[in-house]
Structure 1
Amino acid sequence: MKKRATLQIASSLLVCAALLVSACSSNAGTTASEKTAPEQAAATDRIVTDAMGNKVTLPVHPQKVIATYLEDHLVALGVKPIAQWSVGEGSVQGYLQKELAGIPAIPYDLPPEVVMSYSPDLLILESADLAAGDKYNQYSKIAPTYTVGVEKNTDWRKELLAVGEVLNKRDQAKVVLAAYEKKAQEAKEKLQQGIGTKSAAALWVLPKSTFIVKETLSSGDVLYKDLGFTVPEIVKEVTQASDANWNKISLEKLAVLNTDYLFIVNSKGVSLKELVSDPVYANIPAVKNGHVYEFSKDSSWLYSGTIANGQIIDDVLKSVLK
C-alpha cells in the first residue's frame, strides 16, 4: 500500500593516501605490491547500474545505510540501518522493532535534508518514484544512491537478492532465501497433511473500510504461492483489476466471500467477536466454521520479506493446525 557520496569516497581515498605516505616514510623496505594496497582496495569498489539507468559506485562495506521500506532484507542480512522508514506520525514496521529498537524513524518520502543529517554512506530506494524530479540528483550528492525499481520490488525474492548485491552480501542473500524456501515447503506439506486443499483469504479491516490482499503480493503471495491455499474468486478478481498489494472490497463483495479460512489484520479498534458478528460476515464459510484468525496492525501480514513471510507462516500453522 505504501508501498542514495562522492565526498565520502574522496575522503576514503585521501585517508588511504595518507596511510600510504606514512607507511613509506616509516618503512623503506616496503614492497611495491604493499605500496599499492590502498589503490587495490579502491579498485574493489563496485559499479552497478540501477533501475533508473544510473551507474552507481558502491562502497565495499557500507556502514551507514538507509534503505527505505527494505528493512526486512537488511535485518535478514545482518545489517542495521541508521534510520528506518516510517509513514504518518513515525509509524514504523512493528514486526521488526525487536531488531530495530532505538533506530530513529525517517519520513517515507525521504526529505533530502533529513537524509543528509544522518550522513549515510549508502542509500537504497525501493521505488523510482522516491527519486522523482531532482531528488535523485540531491540524494546522489549525499551518498551513493541505488534504486531497485518495479521489476524487482514487485517480487520480494528478486528484491532481496538485489539488496544483497548492493550490500556486497550476495551469497548471504542466497542462503537466507534458501532457508526460507525450505521453511515454506515444510509448512506447505504440514498443511496438506493436516487440512488438505482449502481456500483462504486475508483481510485488513480499518474503521471505515476493508481491504483484501492481492493473490501475488504481501501475505497473498505466502498464502497462495508458498503454502498452497486455493485462491477465492474474489481475490482473483482483485488481482486482475489492480496492481496494489491490498485493495478495498465492498460490503457486497465481502458478504459473498467464499473461503474456508480467513485471516484478519484488525485495525478497526473492536474485538474479533464484535467484528465478525456484523451480518456482512454471516455467510462466509470460515466464519460459520470458526476458522477466523486475528492479527494486529503491528504484525507482519501487511509486509513482505523472509522475516515477514516467515512470521506469517508461523501464524498460519499455529492458527490452523491446533
Structure 2
Amino acid sequence: MTPLAHNRRSVMLAGLAFVLLGSSAMAADGWPRSFTNADGTTTEIAAQPQRILSTSVTITGTLLAIDAPVVASGSAGNGKFFAQWAPVAEERGVTNAWPAGSVDIEAVYAAQPDLIVVSVTGADSALDQLAEFQAIAPTIVLNYGSQTWQELAGHLGDATGLEEAAAAKVAGFDAYVADAAAKITVPEGTADIISFNGAGQDNPIARAGGVHAALLQSLGFTVEDPNPEWHSQPNQRADFVWAPYEKLVDLTSATTFILSRDNEGAKAFLEDPVLANLPSVKAGQVYGLGANSFRIDFYSATEIVDGIVENFSK
C-alpha cells in the first residue's frame, strides 16, 4: 500500500469513528451543526473538531487565539508562519503543510483532519481545491478580508464549538484596547495608514472602513479615507486603495503610519524628498505600525496597540 493510500484509509477510518462518536453526543453538546460558508453554501459538521487543518495562514492566527486544535496549516508565500504567532504554533506542534500558492493533498491526508478551513480570497486561498478537501473532511469557507479578526473569531467559534473561548478572547482584547486608549494622547487631525513601496509602484492606503482603520479608530484616531478614484486595480476594495506613488502628495493627515515597518523602517517615508510637504512629514509624525502589521489578527493587533502606547503615551 502506498503512503498516500494508507493515509486515505486512515482518514476514512478516523472519520467513521468520529461520526459514530458524534452521534452519541448529539443531544448533550449540540452536535452535529450546520455552518454557513462565505460562498453561501453550508457545511455539516458531525461533532466538535479535534484535528483542524487551516489552508489559510491568515486565518490560522485567529484559530490559535481561540485555542482551536490546529494540527496543520498552510504558511505564507515564503514558506514560514507569520512571526507574530509562529512561536505559539511551534509550541502546539502545528505542522507546516505548504506555502501559499501551492497545495499538497497528500499533506492533507497525513494530517488526518476532521475539519478543513479555506479562505475564499487572498494569496493564501486554496479555493480551487475545495472539492478535494470536501472529499477528505468537512470543509468550511471564510472571507477574512471583509471582517475584523474579532468577527472572524466569532465565526470560527461557531464552527469549532469554541464560542465561549472566542467571546472571552474578544472581550479581553477590547478591554486591553480601552485601557491602552486611556494611556495615550492622540495627535490632532486625521491619520493615514500606508503600505509604502516608493516611486514606480503602487502604495496601498488603508480605507476608513478597513480592519486597520477600525483598530486605530478604537484607540481614538480618525482615519483619512483615500480617494477611491486613485485605485489602480480593476476591482474596488473596502479595505485599501492601491494608489500610485504620485497620489501620496495629496494626502492631508497630520499623522502617518507605515504598514509592516517599525519606526526605523518608517524613516524611508519621512525622508522621501517628494513627500517633504506632507503635513505628517512636516510635523515629524510618521511612525511604523509594526513589523507584523500587514495582517491583523489577535497577536499582531496586540503588537500594534503596544506600539501605539509606546509612541503616544501621555
The one-letter amino acid of 1:282's match is A
Helix, strand or coil: the match of 1:221?
A: helix
Q: 2: distance between equivalents of 1:257 and 1:250?
A: 12
Q: 2: distance between equivalents of 1:80 and 1:237?
A: 43
Aligned length: 287
Q: 2: distance between equivalents of 1:231 and 1:271?
A: 21
The one-letter amino acid of 1:305's match is D
TM-score normalised to structure 1 length: 0.75
- Aligned partner (choices 65, 90, 96) of residue 53 of structure 2: 65
2:7 match: none
CA deviation map 1:57-92 (0-9, x unaligned): 243241343252212211211235323332323143
The one-letter amino acid of 1:79's match is A
Runs of 4 or more, structure 1, over 6 Å off, are: 235-239
Q: 1: distance between equivalents of 2:241 and 2:162?
A: 34
1:312 match: 304
Higher relative contact order (CA 8 A, sep 6+): 1
1:40 match: 24
CA deviation map 1:107-166 (0-9, x unaligned): 335443442332222111232784656x3321112111112247x953433211110111
The one-letter amino acid of 1:229's match is F
1:116 match: 109
CA RMSD of aligned residues (A): 3.2
Q: 2: distance between equivalents of 1:220 and 1:66?
A: 26
- Aligned partner (choices 128, 153, 178) of residue 185 of structure 1: 178
The residue correspondences of 1:1-322 to structure 2 (distance < 5 A) are: 7-12=13-18, 40-41=24-25, 44=29, 45-51=31-37, 52-66=40-54, 68=56, 69-79=58-68, 81-101=70-90, 103=94, 104-109=96-101, 110-127=103-120, 130=125, 132=127, 135-149=129-143, 153-191=146-184, 194-195=185-186, 197-206=188-197, 209=201, 210-224=203-217, 226-234=218-226, 242-243=236-237, 245-265=239-259, 272-294=266-288, 298-299=291-292, 301-321=293-313
Cα offset for 1:250? 2.1
Residues 290, 105 of structure 1: CA spacing in aligned structure 2 closer, same or farther, 3 A cutoff? Answer: farther
The one-letter amino acid of 2:294's match is L
The one-letter amino acid of 2:74's match is W
TM-score normalised to structure 2 length: 0.77
Cα offset for 1:312? 1.3
Helix, strand or coil: the match of 1:313?
A: helix
| Greater mean deviation of Cα atoms: 137-146 or 66-75 | 66-75
- Is the 1:164–1:170 contact (alpha carbons within 8 Å) kept by the matching residues of 2? yes
Residues 284, 144 of structure 1: CA spacing in aligned structure 2 closer, same or farther, 3 A cutoff? Answer: same
- Is the 2:196–2:269 contact (alpha carbons within 8 Å) kept by the matching residues of 1? no
| Greater mean deviation of Cα atoms: 57-66 or 284-293 | 57-66
Cα offset for 1:272? 4.0
Helix, strand or coil: the match of 1:125?
A: strand
Structure 2 residues without counterparts, runs of 5 or longer: 1-10
The one-letter amino acid of 1:8's match is A
